[in-house]
Structure 1
Amino acid sequence: MVEETRGKLVRAARKAFAEKGYAASSMDDFTAEAGLTRGALYHNFGDKKGLLQAVIDQLDAEILVRMRAARERAATPWQGLLDESIAYLEMALEPEIQRIMLLDGPAVLGDPSRWPNQSACLRATAQTIEELIEAGTIRSVDAEAAARLLNGAALNAALWIAAADDPPAVLAKAVEAFRRLAEGLLKMEP
């Protein structure tokens, strides 16, 4: 019953945040859509900000699955690292991700690089970098530092894309620059 209630509220909030944005959405919107009371919202999420965090956690889990799929389709581990990051940048064109994850999320919850989900992403990138170093694909470098720099570049590029007047044009610039930045790690030119 608790999971069903939480699920209804998250679905309702996700819809409202995507359509209206965080500031224009009200707790009454969520509870009416979900057929629940404000008490249920307070009990499960504390407040509107807690509900936004739950929506972002759900979206982030979906994004990670899509990024992992892009990596797994790649012909090589190096290409997988690039494809995974580029998939993330491409998702910055999607209205729901733009508004909730890249515009409202940082405005309400603060710096996305400090969100709890970032540590898992950093660990995965660092592990991939370590494997690429061991395979001789990239130069010897501190894996955590390289992971933080690549992930930071991708995150900032996604924020730039989401806030741009012409997101597709910015995506093309960001992808090209990201590739060049990442290729600096290679032992040889691609």
Structure 2
Amino acid sequence: MIGIRFVCEYCREFAVTQVRQSRASMIEATRAKLISAARSAFAEHGYAQAAMDELTAQAGLTRGALYHHFGGKPGLLAAVVAQMDEEMDQRLELVLRGHADPWEGFLAYCRAYLAMAQEAEIRRIVLQDARSVLTGTDQGQQHQQCIAFIAGFLQQLIDEGIIVNASAAALARLLNGCLIEAAFWIAEEGAPPERLSEALQALELMLQGWKAA
């Protein structure tokens, strides 16, 4: 027979587990509320003009909650940018995988990234506010993950003889730097549409030189 002590121990462990899960869910929900409110405020007003008291009130929380979970306004911006980066990566991967021809998928991936620079939310938060507020260490992990993904796909193109035989790691860093700088340029001064057209033309010229003979 199952002893009373065993039943009590089981109930106690179950209760502790439930409390931990409940606490983790509450923390996740609080962070999600703050990130959502901050994302809306940063998109509408910009990082500098977004007031923390108004932002936390919109989330139904206090400024203390913001500091507890993110350490301050810059940490909250970093969390918003991380969320947006992940969404951008998902969109870009869908573009890449949506082409049967790997080369055409690669070109579409690069074009789509540059086109995102004209989207108001991405332009303001990712390409302007994050650039002026966050340091390289704030976005280091996302940056390295992006480069690793690009390098992996470039290695596939090299292995299939589609592009010249070169270091995929070096090409990935070169391409990533070019795309980021072009996106910054597109996003400046209200993102005039001709900048996207000019950047796309320059991209095509550069990448044509990568194709295998």
TM-score range, shorter chain: over 0.9
> Are the aligned partners of 1:90 and 1:171 in contact in 2 as well (CA < 8 Å)?
yes
1:9-68 C-alpha deviation (Å, 9 max, x unpaired): 000000000000000012112111101011111110000000000000000000001100
Distance 1:15 1:85, change over 3 A: same
Q: In structure 1, give the amino acid aligned to 2:205.
A: R
Q: In structure 2, give the amino acid aligned to 1:180.
A: L
Match of 2:177 in 1: 152
> Are the aligned partners of 1:92 and 1:158 in contact in 2 as well (CA < 8 Å)?
yes
The offset of 1:98, in angstroms, is 0.3
In structure 2, the gaps of 5 or more residues are 1-25
Q: Distance in 2 between matches of 1:69 and 1:41?
A: 34
In structure 1, the gaps of 5 or more residues are none
4+ aligned runs moved over 4 Å, structure 1? 111-114
Answer yes or no: is 1:167 the counterpart of 2:192. Answer: yes
The offset of 1:84, in angstroms, is 1.0
Q: Distance in 1 between matches of 2:153 and 2:29?
A: 37
> Are the aligned partners of 1:67 and 1:88 in contact in 2 as well (CA < 8 Å)?
yes
> Are the aligned partners of 2:92 and 2:109 in contact in 1 as well (CA < 8 Å)?
yes
Range with greater deviation from structure 2 (76-85 or 30-39): 76-85
> Are the aligned partners of 2:78 and 2:139 in contact in 1 as well (CA < 8 Å)?
no
Q: Distance in 1 between matches of 2:182 and 2:90?
A: 20
- What's the secondary structure of 1:136's corresponding residue? coil
> Are the aligned partners of 1:93 and 1:161 in contact in 2 as well (CA < 8 Å)?
yes
Q: In structure 2, give the amino acid aligned to 1:41.
A: L
The offset of 1:164, in angstroms, is 3.6
Q: Distance in 2 between matches of 1:95 and 1:166?
A: 9
The offset of 1:163, in angstroms, is 0.5
The offset of 1:166, in angstroms, is 4.6
Q: CA RMSD in A?
A: 1.5
| Matched ranges for 1:6-45 at <5 A | 6-45=31-70
> Are the aligned partners of 2:96 and 2:108 in contact in 1 as well (CA < 8 Å)?
yes
With the length of structure 1 as denominator, give the TM-score of the two structures.
0.94
- What's the secondary structure of 1:185's corresponding residue? coil
- What's the secondary structure of 1:41's corresponding residue? helix
The offset of 1:180, in angstroms, is 1.2
With the length of structure 2 as denominator, give the TM-score of the two structures.
0.84
The offset of 1:116, in angstroms, is 2.1
Q: Distance in 2 between matches of 1:107 and 1:179?
A: 29
Q: Distance in 1 between matches of 2:68 and 2:45?
A: 24
Q: Distance in 1 between matches of 2:137 and 2:161?
A: 32
> Are the aligned partners of 2:118 and 2:191 in contact in 1 as well (CA < 8 Å)?
no
Match of 1:108 in 2: 133
> Are the aligned partners of 1:150 and 1:182 in contact in 2 as well (CA < 8 Å)?
no
Q: Which has the greater radius of gyration?
A: 2
Answer yes or no: is 1:61 the counterpart of 2:90. Answer: no
Q: Distance in 1 between matches of 2:70 and 2:185?
A: 30
Aligned residues: 188
